[in-house]
Amino acid sequence: MIWVDTVVQGVLLGGLYALFAAGLSLVFGIMRLVNLAHGDLIVMAAYLILVLVTVLGLPPFLAAAVAAPVMFGIGWVLQKYLLNRTLGSDILPPLLVTFGLSIALQNALLEGFSADSQRLPTGAISTSSLEIGALNIGVLPLLTFASAIAVIIGLNQLFYRTSLGRAFRATSDDPVTASLMGIKPGHVFATATAIAMLVVTLAALYLGMRANFDPNIGPARLIYAFQAVIIGGLGSLWGTLAGGVIIGVSQTIGAAINPEWQILAGHVAFLLVLLVRPRGLFPRAVD
């Protein structure tokens, strides 16, 4: 039974990794932009929520709801006035700029909040659990996983059922032709990054409620997000969820065998999947 519990905990942990990765997947899927500052933006959103909790005394969920439009605006401006300028046939400029942004964000957060670990106050929810048979499932991990599913469903609906989603996909296919049809690629990209920042805010909320965070943990979150996106197949949202679950389950099984193997087991699983399916589990038909 302990192994079933381990796998269930891994699946739920995968929900958090899927939330880390969904925004990255969204941005990559639409504009082929690899945002190396993604992890740091998650950490920045966590600090923004923390400030709202401590200064205004808001509960974390309400604070996240207030932080979401702020992050939306930051994402829009960031893409419109900085990242759009780096897009083109050369993949190096966006990598260099987002790498620089990552360093700048880490140092700004260190300057503003010091290197001390922080955590969002959660109250009773962090210790609440549901008893299902012989399993005890934490409410917060369950809520995280449910949020990840809701985000993936929501983004899929947005992509395939709305005018904006069709504009996303058309621009992703061919921005030049899309612009001849009256679409403004620069606006579409800015809107995509803004929406990705909404997901980032949700990821930051659960990150801050479930674990300690400090200004330097962004790059590690980026690695988990990358691994989930690549395992799932670049640009596939459901694949991203599957990728997150695979990493989560691998980590909990690794930790059950030996606590020192937790992180390593996730990396090994990532490499094994790439050995068998180099383009990930659910790659897009044409990339």
Partner 1 sequence: MSILSLKTVSKSFGSLKVTDDVSFEVPEGQALGIIGPNGAGKSTLFNLITGNLTADAGTIRFQDQDVTRVPAMQRCFAGVGRSFQIPQPFDHLTVFENLLVAASHGRALDEHEVEADCARILEQTELLPVANKPAGGLSLLQRKRLEMARALATDPKLLLLDEIAGGLTDAECVALIDTIRSVHARGVTIIWIEHVLHALTSVVERLLVLDFGKIIGIGDPEDIMSRPEVKEIYLGIEV
Q: By the criterion CB under 8 A, which residues form the site for partner 1? A: 163, 166-167, 169-170, 172-174, 177-184, 284-286
CA pair distance 60, 202, nearest whole angstrom: 11
Residue 52 or 155: which CB sits closer to partner 1? Answer: 155
CB nearer partner 1, residue 168 or residue 206 = 168
Q: Residue 196 and residue 87: Cα distance in Å, rounded?
A: 17
Minimum Å gap between C-beta 27 and partner 1 is: 17
Range 29-32, long-range pairs (CB < 8 A, 24+ positions): 29/172, 29/234, 29/235, 29/236, 29/237, 29/284, 30/168, 30/169, 30/171, 30/172, 30/188, 30/189, 30/192, 31/87, 31/171, 31/172, 31/189, 31/192, 32/91, 32/172
CB of 89 to partner 1, least distance (A): 17
Task: Specify which residues 130 forms β-bridges with.
Answer: 137
For residue 70, how far is the Cα from the chain centroid? 17
The residue written with tokens 């790498």 in the block is: 99
Please identify, using beta-carbon distances, which residue of 162 and 258 lies nearer to partner 1.
Answer: 162
Shortest spacing between CB 176 and partner 1, in angstroms: 8
- Beta partners for residue 137, in sequence order: 130
Indicate the residue among 119 and 284 with the shorter CB distance to partner 1: 284
The residue (of 134 and 180) whose beta carbon lies closer to partner 1 is 180
